[in-house]
Structure 1
Amino acid sequence: MTHDPKNPVLRVVPGPSDINANGHIFGGWVLSQMDIAAGIVARLRSGGPVATVAIDRMEFIAPIHLRDLISVYAEVESVGRTSMKVRIEVMAWRDSGSVHVKVTEGLFTFVAIDEEARPRPVEPQSK
């Protein structure tokens, strides 16, 4: 099974409990959605369990508001022997979908793991 990077991995609407004191969505909430989406894509690419080992880059571009529909896009950017770098982009759909705003992007590193949580090789991409 593979993932088409043109389609979001996740779509979610943050709730009232996800709002910080400034009236925007907590950065940690966004980060967790990104980690979930990137982990799904990394698991599909590696054919098994993965673990997040690093956030190489993370940028908050614009705030997320209550009632925004969040679309999380993720794509495997590179594959090493046991690791993968996954690029993530988060878009907010506002005003009933009439406005699209890029709110966050990042680059996360995952390691494929075996049943004992040790690194395992990632198979080369089949052609």
Structure 2
Amino acid sequence: MPADTNPAGDIFGGWLMAQMDLAAGSAAARRARGRCATIAVEGMAFLRPVAVGDEVSLYAEIVDVGRTSMKIHVAAWRRSRDSEETFKVTEATFTFVAIDASGKSRPVPPRS
């Protein structure tokens, strides 16, 4: 939306990062079967701008699971509304920790 843009009319990087965090958080919560918290983001570089009206697709993949944490790689791609061509705009690895109801870390359950 226009309210999410910088003075040049491109989408703020922070808005895109928030969407990526939501995608990673969804993958983390499913894998951990419960609440998770973001603790780190690694390697984000913005390769191309995203314009108002572009379709943004996010792809999240769990790349590592530790005792209480998970690393999730997220790639963001854009497609102009009048084209079929897609471009990667950024990617990053998000680290999440599984947490209990009191906010303390808890073990990630084994994969079922």
Return the letter of the residue paired with 1:99. E
CA offset at residue 125 of structure 1? 2.0
Return the letter of the residue paired with 1:18. D
Please give the per-residue CA displacement for 1:30-75, whole angstroms capped at 9, x wherever unaligned.
0100000000000001000000000122121111011100011101
Give identity over the alignment, percent: 46
CA offset at residue 95 of structure 1? 3.7
TM-score with structure 1 length normalisation?
Answer: 0.85
2:76 paired residue number:
90
1:26 paired residue number:
12
Q: Does residue 63 in structure 1 map to residue 49 in structure 2?
A: yes
How well do the aligned residues superpose, as a CA RMSD in angstroms?
1.0
1:37 paired residue number:
23
Match 2:2 to one of 2, 16, 28: 16
Contact 1:56–1:106 (Cα < 8 Å) also in 2: yes
- Partners in 2 of 1:59 and 1:95 — Cα distance? 24
Contact 2:25–2:38 (Cα < 8 Å) also in 1: yes
Please give the per-residue CA displacement for 1:91-123, whole angstroms capped at 9, x wherever unaligned.
101143412011010000000000000000002
1:9 paired residue number:
none
Contact 1:57–1:108 (Cα < 8 Å) also in 2: no
- Partners in 2 of 1:80 and 1:88 — Cα distance? 18
Q: Does residue 52 in structure 1 map to residue 64 in structure 2?
A: no
Unaligned runs of 5+ in 2: none
Which stretch of the first structure deviates more once superposed, 89-98 or 66-75?
A: 89-98
Q: Does residue 120 in structure 1 map to residue 106 in structure 2?
A: yes
- Partners in 2 of 1:31 and 1:85 — Cα distance? 16
Q: How many residues align?
A: 112
